[in-house]
Amino acid sequence: MLKNEMMYSLRDISIIPSVITDIRSRSECNPYRPSIAEDGSELLPVITAPMSCVLNELNFHEFLESGVNVVIPRTVDLNIRKELMFRMFCAFSMSEATNLLEEFEGVKLGEGDVLHILIDNANGHMRSHIELGKKLKRALKPHHVLLMGGNIANPNTYLSYEFAGFDYVRAGIGGGNCCITSTQTATHYAMGSLIADICELRPKEYHCKVIADGGISSYADIIKCLALGADYVMCGKLFAKAALSNEEIGDSHLYYGMSTKMAQKEMGNTVLKTSEGRKETVIKEYTLPGWTENLHDYICSAMSYCDSRSLDEFREKAVCRVLSPAASSLINDK
């Protein structure tokens, strides 16, 4: 079957300013959203990809201090993740999440105890993935577990996550800088269209928040995702290029996908699968605080052009238009 509707990447679109804006300074704009951990704090609407080449149990606090949401990757020791999951999202494999279900089912948790679980699966279209999420919500009660799932690359699959009670779903397959899934399997849904199509069909009063995930390569990409309707944006390479406190600008760093055989070994796998990821060396180009300061200001600037003082208002007011190839090149290839 061939469907003829065109799909658009983030490079293919731009944001059109409002006819008139009453905002006199971008300082009037608030670029923050509630933390994905729902701990009462507000952070920038970006999340670290759960990749060992981005963060771990020793450096996650630097991201939080810079206003970035975090997800601890599966390469971190399971016992450490089980401790940290009461404070922040941690990634777990399907089998690990199943074991958590068995371990905590019937256990009376404290009033403020919340487990933050990402069922980390490249193919979020699996029925077993969604059903496991349902069981976790049912067994632990909704107020004792925050659940993230995905990845998905069909807009209609979002509804399955919404109805299953997931709190967050990652949208995007094959677009990551070190992901070759789409290159090798031809399975893909262009990010610009994916976010727009999900947000067009989701209920007006929705629960499951959308995380744009994969191939986010610039401040503009993040802002376009927010304008199209994503609640949060997950980034890997952008954070891999950020120098932390023990690093210097100009340092080299190995960046690799979590399906590479290197990452599979780090997760303790003895039977290695065909890799759908690759490795590359990246250079530390900026400090993490410097990058987040820029992101804050650029989001506020885009919001001010669209007469929006909050991100929810930005999502409602921002108008995106499709660019010709020449127009796209003019702004994207500088």
The pLDDT of residue 275 is: 62
Domain boundaries, given as residue ranges, for the chain: 28-332
Taking 80 as the threshold, does the pLDDT of residue 67 lie above it? yes
Q: Specify whether domain 28-332 bears CATH 3.20.20.70.
A: yes
pLDDT digits over 186-243, tens only?
A: 888 999 999 999 999 999 999 999 999 998 999 999 999 999 999 999 999 999 999 9
Find the helix or strand (DSSP H, E) in which 217 lies: none
Q: Which of 55, 102, 101, 98 is nearest to 80 (CA)?
A: 55
Report the mean per-residue pLDDT for the chain: 93
pLDDT digits over 264-289, tens only?
A: 667 767 666 666 667 889 999 999 99
User: 3-class secondary structure for 84-119?
Assistant: HCCCCEEEECHHHHHHHHHHHCCCCCCCCCCEEEEE
Distance CA 236, CA 73 (A): 12
